[in-house]
Amino acid sequence: MAQVRRDPIIGRWVIVEEREKSFGPADYEKEPHMLKQGAVCQFCSGRESQTPPEVDAIRPGAYAPNAVGWLTRVVPNKFPALRIEGDLDRRGVGLYDMTNGVGAHEVLIETPDHSKNFADYSVEEAVNVIKLYQSRSASLSRDKRFKYIMIFKNYGQSAGASVEHAHSQIIATPVNPIRISRKLEAFREHFKRKERCLFCDLLQFERQDGSRIVRDEGGFVTFAPYASRFPFELMIAPRDHRFSFAELSRHEAESLAKALKDALLRVRLGLGDPPFNFVLHAEPNLHALPRRSGYWDTLRDDFHWQLIVYPRLTPVAGFEWGTGFYINSTPPEEAARHLRAVDVSDAALAAWRAARGPRRQPAGQAT
C-alpha cells in the first residue's frame, strides 16, 4: 500500500509508492549528451568576446576582464527572464496584482574546461564556484528592488540546460517565490511555537533515524527527504544552525564543496549520469524594500538554508500538475540505501569514464 507523506516544512503531500519491487536506477530512461556535431561553445576559454561582458570572475594573478586565464566567470544572460533596468511599479489591475519584470539574470560559467562538470572538479575548483555564488548573491542583494536571489543548475536537456558547457544560473526576483515563502512561513511559525529551528529539529530526527542519511561528514548532512517528490531526490544542509548562505566561511565552503561533489558523484555513478537540477534555498534579501513590519524579526533564528538535488528520472505528468500531489516510485529510504552503497572512489570514477568513452568536444576545441 502506498503512503501519503506530508512535508513538514511547506505542508506538501507526496504519494510514496510501496511496491513488491520498487523502481531502481535501471528502470529510468537515460538521456544522451546534447552537443551536436560541429557545434561551437561560446562558454569555452578563448571565446570570451562571444558572451556579454563579465560582471565577476575568479582569476589567478592580475585581473584582466573578458580575457583568457579565468577559472570561473559570471556574465549576464543573453536572453534574461528578468531585466535589471527599470522600476518595479507595483500596482493592482482589477482583482490582480502585478509588478514590472525587473530583476537580474546571470550565467556562472563554472570552468574553462568543456569536458568537466561539477562532479569532476577538484575541491578548489568547486570552492571557486561556491564563492562566486556568494559574491553574486551579496552584490545583487544590495539592490533593494530584489527580494530573492535564486541560484540553480540545470544539467542535461530534459533538466532545462540549453548549453552543455558546465554552468549555473543566478536570478534575482522582485518577489519571494512561493516555495520559499511557504518555507519561511513554516520556519517562522515553528519558531513562534517552540523557539527552535524547524530544520534543526528535522535534521536531529533524520540523524537519529539514519535510514535516509546518505552522508554525514564535515559539518554537512546529505539525506533523502522523508517526503521526496522525485526518485533519488537529495538535500544537503549544514548540520548546525546556519541562517545565511552568504555568511559561509572558507572552511564551510570547502566542506560544502566536498558534500556537493560527493552527492553528484553518487547520482552519476549510481544512477547512470541522469539529467539533474540543483537549487539553493538561501535566505531572502534583508535589504529589500518595502518590508512588512516585524516580518523578519526571528529570521536569523528560524531560517536554515538548504541545497536540493533533483535527478530527472521521471516526467511530471497530468496528475501532478492537476493536484499538486507527486508520485514517487522509489521510497527515500531505498534511494538513500542505494546511494550510500555507491563506490565514489577515484578508481570507480576512472572506470566509469573509460566505459563512457571520450566526450565530444566543440568545434575547434582540443581534446
Q: How many Å is the maximal CA-CA distance in the chain? A: 63
Tell me how far apart the alpha carbons of residues 133 and 56 are, in angstroms, rounded to a whole number.
10
Q: Could you report how far apart the first and last alpha carbons of the chain are, in Å?
A: 52
- Sign of the alpha-carbon torsion through 138, 141, 143, 144: negative
Measured distance CA(152)–CA(308) in Å, rounded:
9
Q: Please report the domains of the chain, with CATH numbers, ordered by start residue.
A: 3-36+43-356 (3.30.428.10)
Which of the 8 DSSP states describes residue 361? P
Within the chain, strands assigned E span 3-6, 13-16, 56-58, 72-76, 91-93, 96-98, 104-109, 148-155, 167-173, 213-217, 220-223, 234-238, 276-281, 306-311, 326-328
Q: Give dist(CA 109, CA 125) in Å, integer.
A: 12
**Residues 132-170: tens digit of each pLDDT:** 999 999 999 999 999 999 999 999 999 999 899 999 999
Whether the predicted pLDDT of 367 surpasses 70 = no
Question: Using CA atoms, how far apart are residues 292 and 310, in angstroms rounded to an integer?
Answer: 33
| Confidence band for 365, pLDDT divided at 50, 70 and 90 | low
Place 75 in a pLDDT band, splitting at 50, 70 and 90: very high
Grid cell in block for residue 133: 555564488
The model scores a pTM over 0.85? yes
Angle, alpha carbons 75-79-81 (nearest 5°): 100
Q: Distance between CA 224 and CA 314 in Å, rounded?
A: 17
User: What percent of the chain has a predicted confidence (pLDDT) above 70?
Assistant: 90
Strands 91-93 vs 72-76: parallel, antiparallel or unpaired: unpaired
**Mean pLDDT of the 271-279 span:** 96
Q: DSSP secondary structure string, 21-73?
A: S---GGGS------PPTT---TTSTT-GGGSPPPSEEE-SSS--TTSS--SEE
Which residue is it, cell 565530444?
360
> Dihedral of CA 283/286/290/291: which sign?
positive
> How much is the mean pLDDT over the chain?
90
Give me the pLDDT at residue 366, please: 46
- What percent of the chain is predicted at pLDDT more than 90? 70
Kindly tell me if the per-residue pLDDT of 206 is higher than 70.
Answer: yes
Residue 201, helix vs strand vs coil: helix
329-359: burial string, b at 16+ Cβ within 10 Å, e else: bbbbbbbbebbeebebeeeebeebeeeeeee
Q: Closest Cα partner for 270 from 349, 332, 356?
A: 349
What pLDDT is attached to residue 98?
A: 79
Summarised one tens digit per residue, pLDDT across range 36-62 is: 544 689 999 999 999 999 999 999 987
- When pLDDT is averaged across residues 203-218 and rounded to a whole number, the result is 98
| Separation between Cα atoms, residue 292 and residue 286, nearest integer Å | 11
- What's the pLDDT at 32? 54
The string of pLDDT tens digits covering residues 330-350 is 999 999 999 999 999 999 999
- What is the arithmetic mean of pLDDT over 237-266? 97
C-alpha grid cell for residue 142?
544590495
The Cα–Cα gap between 64 and 286 comes to 33
pLDDT classification of 17: cutoffs 50, 70, 90: low
